[in-house]
Amino acid sequence: MATGAQDSQARFGQSVKGLLTEKVNTCGTDVIALTKQVLKGSRSSELLGQAARNMVLQEDAILHSEDARSYSEECWTVIRSTGPAKSPAEIEWHIRG
């Protein structure tokens, strides 16, 4: 009987060992999948941040071009009303009035 009990315990031990191995492999696969997902999310965040920075740069460029256009219009207004100016300082003087 002792041999039968030992065989039973050995089979049970092998069964448990097999189940544990399977579970460890599954957990390992899940950890790898989770790591990939985290890295993918990190990359998405990085790309989103870069897009936001690019939008800010574009906005600054647009605002600068609007300022330059406005200044150019003011210069042309002065030139039309007073004739050609001799220097940028003279244009500034006419703008300030």
- Segments making up each domain of the chain, as ranges: 2-68
* Per-residue pLDDT band at 2 (split at 50, 70, 90): low
Token pair in block for residue 52: 């936001």
Q: What's the token pair of residue 68? A: 């330059």
The model's pTM: 0.46
> Which amino acid is it at 44?
S
* Burial class for 74, CB neighbours closer than 10 Å (0-12, 13-18, 19+): middle
Cβ atoms of residues 62 and 49 within 8 Å: no
Residue that wins the pLDDT comparison between 21 and 7: 21
Task: Indicate if the pLDDT at residue 94 is higher than 80.
Answer: no
The label of the residue with tokens 């001799």 reads 86
